[in-house]
Structure 1
Amino acid sequence: MVCPLAQVEEVFKTTQGAVYQCSRKNCYWLEFQHSTTAFKISDFFLFKKRIDAIDVASMIGDASRSADFEIVMPFRTERCFLLSVADVLALKEILSGAKFAIELNSEVKKILRGGNVFAL
């Protein structure tokens, strides 16, 4: 669970999970598989790269039992994710949506600070 004293804002949410931003601790919280994991900003993006690198097609095409799940242990967390193909796809969606929302928010703030107004 997210710290009750934290000031969190929802970044992106699906039925499978969510990403929240904590401005008090300058981190992201991932809510997935009925638990919450805190990430420093750089670790969050490294975790996304790690999840994006999982070859889902290979998992599906490999008949061995070891290919049914992927084990991911994010850097600087106590969490270990045991991910099925469905979990990997859900996590990819959550992390991609969060990254898009973060980048969009950053661009909007940049435009507003710069005073750029688009003429139609």
Structure 2
Amino acid sequence: MICPVASFEEIFQTAQGAVYQCSRKNCYWLDFQGEATPFKVRDFFQFKKTIDSIDVEAMLNNSSRSFDFEIIMPFRSERIFILAVEDVLKLQELLAGAKFMIELNSEIKACLQQKAVLAW
């Protein structure tokens, strides 16, 4: 459950979920598989690296039942993600889009600040 008093801005959304930024608590919220999970900024990017490092090809090619799902327990989180191949791909897409938008926003702010300094 996302805190009702917090101030959220949507960063990126797909049909499978969304990523929000909470400016009050300086954190990100991942809404995926019907659950919202808070992440500190550093933990969010570490979680993205973990999801990106999942070997989808090995999951698809290995017939062993142990390769059917990936279990991820993010650092400093009470949530456990149990992901099938399709879920991994959907989460990778969502996190990649969110990271791109975060970086784009940072670049835009830097350009605007530089322009403001030059205008002085």
Give the TM-score of the pair, scaled to structure 2.
Answer: 0.95
- Residue 33 of structure 1: aligned partner: 33
Secondary structure at 1:90 match in 2: helix
The 2-side partners of 1:2 and 1:9 are apart by 12
Q: Deviations over 1:61-100 (max 9, x none)?
A: 0000110000000000000000000000000000000000
Decide which structure has greater helix share: 2
- Residue 55 of structure 1: aligned partner: 55
More displaced, 30-39 or 107-116?
A: 107-116
Residue 85, structure 1, aligned to residue 111, structure 2: no
Q: Deviations over 1:3-51 (max 9, x none)?
A: 1001000000000000000000000000001100000000000000000
CA RMSD between the two structures: 0.8
Alignment of 1:1-120 (within 5 A): 1-115=1-115
The 2-side partners of 1:27 and 1:112 are apart by 23
- Give percent identity, aligned residues only: 64
Quick one: which amino acid aligns to residue 115 of structure 1? K
Aligned positions, number: 116
The 2-side partners of 1:86 and 1:3 are apart by 29
Secondary structure at 1:54 match in 2: coil
Quick one: which amino acid aligns to residue 46 of structure 1? Q
Unpaired segments ≥5 residues, structure 1: none
Secondary structure at 2:5 match in 1: coil
Unpaired segments ≥5 residues, structure 2: none
Shift of 1:2: 1.1
Quick one: which amino acid aligns to residue 32 of structure 1? F
